Chain A
Amino acid sequence: MKTISAGRKRTGRNRAGRIALEIFMVLLSLVFLYPLFLAINNSLKSFGEVMSDVVALPKQLAFENYSYVWSFINYPRLFLNNTVITVVGLVGIILVSSIAAYKLSRTKSRFSAVLYVVCIMPMLIPFQSIMLTVLRLAQDIHLNNSTWGLGLLYWGFGAPLAVFIYHGFVKGIPKEIDESATIDGASGFRLFFSVIFPLLKPVTTTIIIIDVMWIWNDFLLPLLMVNGSPSTKTLTLAAYTFVGQYTSDWQYAMTAMVMAVLPSIIVFIFLQKFIVKGVVAGAVKG
């Protein structure tokens, strides 16, 4: 009798500890996200309210902040720019890298091994080491000041990691699949696009997620490449220059911040499950 009650007491204490831990963690996560809440909160206030009390909730929702910033930075245009850059970059990275990684992984020769190292080596080069010369080169081949040009540049910047991840994954695809497809009369591009590429889907998802977050939010490369004219700017760049001009108008600054990050948050909420899985697959294999 005694032992049973002792045992029960112990599980009872464990459960209480678990609930306490759970409550603590949820509170911690709310504190963790509080800065973002403050940003949204203050984007909905008037200048006076922001200045008098940052923590208080808005007395009246100042949606005019949003319409002001929307037209001031030409939001639809920036959104389109971001989309063009990200889509052009992503499609190119996936096409160019998957096909090369497949061939390099399948060809067993010294030459192919050397080329593979040549492809992934740039992962060790810090962007700051080459940023000036990238800009010069881009000017020479007329890729600067154009969203398409910037998208094209990302092909090379995204390729090393993508080749690395695809290369590792192709090893796991049996060679017999290639052989039977060849016997059925498919070879070259046909074999790759109708047989191999569909099998690469899990890695392609990972690469899409990693690269979309990176290209959409990138700052330094767009700053060097497309900052010249308002019609080619990206959301992050516009938010950066906007805050530079309106350092004291915090209500507009916060609105611009929120508007710049909102698309990523919305996409994240919808694709959350894939994103976390994708990061794990990409990072753990990498």
Chain B
Amino acid sequence: MFKSLGRKWSEKLEFGIFTLPVLICIAIAFYIPFAMTIRYSLLKWNGISKNPQFIGLDNFKQIFMGDANFTSAAWFTVKYAIVYIVLVNVLAIGLAVILDMKLKSTTWLRTAFFIPYILSLVIVGFIWKFIFMQGFESLGASTGWGIFKLSWLGEPGLAFVSIVAVSVWQSIGFYLVIYIAGLQSVPEDLKEAATVDGAGPFRRFISITLPLLAPSITISVFMALTNSIKVFDVILSLTGGGPGGTTYSIAYDIYRDTFQNNMFGYGTAKALILFVAVLIVTLIQLSLFKRREIDA
């Protein structure tokens, strides 16, 4: 195992000097906190008392036996993740196909759809809160359309739709760029051959473009998945978890337990469960999607 280090001292030293800084930084940012998280999750602790009480796996038992907040937050996160992943990818592929047709305004369109992605999600949430609360009233008055008169942040079902819509609005430009890059690597002659064989545009898309887009789909779904499981910022500023606590995500629920309710041990136990869930889901997703990819 240490064969490379067995050669010369100077080489060993150089390897150490080159790699040690990054290892220290990553240890401080991730590994040491992660080890501390495991320890904290076994404690009953409010963060202030000098003697946290060791309670073994009781936190985990309590979470799984009956924590209504956690269950509803988990359910919200799963629903959100599924709807978000499907919507953002389908819409981005659709837009990318249109933008790949080399329209005159392609450059402008790409820029326009990308702009929300450079904005902070917290701020995006506030801007939309303003629009849902104040803007829709004026828009409803001037257009007379009923959809502007609904309570988009005040009714649980609609608040869910609003959160998904705002997230998709903010991030679609990113996925669009990935898909455009993927489409540009689809060879033209394949599409032409299919046209000669009599395949219409729809058939060409299903049988040629989509399979060759598989690597981009894998990456985009992976990114959408990891981001949607961690959804926090946009909810904090858009609904604050409301109405009636129906829009708490797991990440928000953990934040609430640790920093608002001072249940440090309990909150970190939930955080560990989130980590395990993310690990399992992403590994399954990656292995499933990798298997379906074709080399272009």
Q: List CB contacts (< 8 Å) of A245-283 with chain B.
A: 250, 253-254, 257, 260-261, 264-265, 268, 272, 275-276, 279-280, 283
Contacting pair B268 A118 (CB below 8 A)? no
B36 within 8 Å of A by Cβ? yes
Contacting pair B122 A32 (CB below 8 A)? no
Q: What are the interface flags for A204-222 relative to B under an 8 Å C-beta threshold, 1 for contact and 0 otherwise? A: 0000000001001111100
Complex CA gap A155/B119 in Å reads 22
Q: List CB contacts (< 8 Å) of A109-162 with chain B.
A: 109-112, 114-115, 118-119, 122, 124-134, 136-137, 141, 153, 155-157, 159-160
Contacting pair B122 A53 (CB below 8 A)? no
Beyond A111-B4, A157-B29, A284-B178, is A96–B109 a contact (Cβ under 8 Å)? no
Q: Which stretch of A4-12, A61-69, A100-108, A172-180 is in the interface?
A: A100-108
Contacting pair A126 B130 (CB below 8 A)? no
Number of interface residues of B (CB under 8 A): 92
> In the complex, what residues of B have CB within 8 A of residue A92's CB?
25
Contacting pair B123 A126 (CB below 8 A)? no
Complex CA gap A106/B19 in Å reads 12
B157 within 8 Å of A by Cβ? no
Complex CA gap A56/B112 in Å reads 23
Query: Which one of A33, A95, A236 lies within 8 Å of B115 (CB-CB)?
Result: A33
Interface of A is mostly: helix
Query: Which one of A22, A32, A188, A216 lies within 8 Å of B105 (CB-CB)?
Result: A22
Q: What are the interface flags for A15-58 relative to B under an 8 Å C-beta threshold, 1 for contact and 0 otherwise? A: 00010011001100110110110110010000000110111100
Complex CA gap A39/B272 in Å reads 39
Complex CA gap A192/B21 in Å reads 15
Number of interface residues of A (CB under 8 A): 91
Contacting pair B4 A112 (CB below 8 A)? yes
> In the complex, what residues of A have CB within 8 A of residue B226's CB?
126
Contacting pair B115 A36 (CB below 8 A)? yes
Q: List CB contacts (< 8 Å) of B99-144 with chain A.
A: 99, 101, 103-105, 108-123, 126-128, 130-131, 134-135, 137-139, 141-142
A186 within 8 Å of B by Cβ? no
Beyond A54-B134, A284-B216, is A132–B40 a contact (Cβ under 8 Å)? yes
Contacting pair A119 B36 (CB below 8 A)? no
Beyond A22-B105, A29-B108, is A126–B251 a contact (Cβ under 8 Å)? yes
Contacting pair B103 A22 (CB below 8 A)? yes
Complex CA gap A29/B282 in Å reads 33
- Chain A residue nearest to B255 (CB atoms) is A128
Complex CA gap A133/B110 in Å reads 40
> In the complex, what residues of A have CB within 8 A of residue B116's CB?
36
> In the complex, what residues of B have CB within 8 A of residue A53's CB?
138, 141
B186 within 8 Å of A by Cβ? no
> In the complex, what residues of A have CB within 8 A of residue B278's CB?
124-126
> In the complex, what residues of A have CB within 8 A of residue B137's CB?
54
Smallest CB–CB gap between A161 and chain B, Å?
11
- Chain B residue nearest to A284 (CB atoms) is B181
A286 within 8 Å of B by Cβ? yes
Query: Which one of B4, B30, B128, B182 lies within 8 Å of A125 (CB-CB)?
Result: B30
The 6 A-B residue pairs whose C-beta atoms are closest, nearest first, are A156-B29, A109-B4, A217-B120, A156-B25, A133-B33, A103-B18
What are 13 pairs between A and B in contact, CB < 8 Å? A109-B5, A128-B251, A128-B271, A129-B272, A129-B275, A130-B271, A156-B25, A156-B27, A159-B29, A250-B134, A260-B123, A272-B111, A284-B216
Q: Interface residues, chain A, CB within 8 Å of chain B?
A: 18, 21-22, 25-26, 29-30, 32-33, 35-36, 38-39, 42, 50-51, 53-56, 92, 95-97, 99-100, 102-104, 107-112, 114-115, 118-119, 122, 124-134, 136-137, 141, 153, 155-157, 159-160, 163, 188, 192, 213, 216-220, 224, 236, 239-240, 243, 250, 253-254, 257, 260-261, 264-265, 268, 272, 275-276, 279-280, 283-284, 286
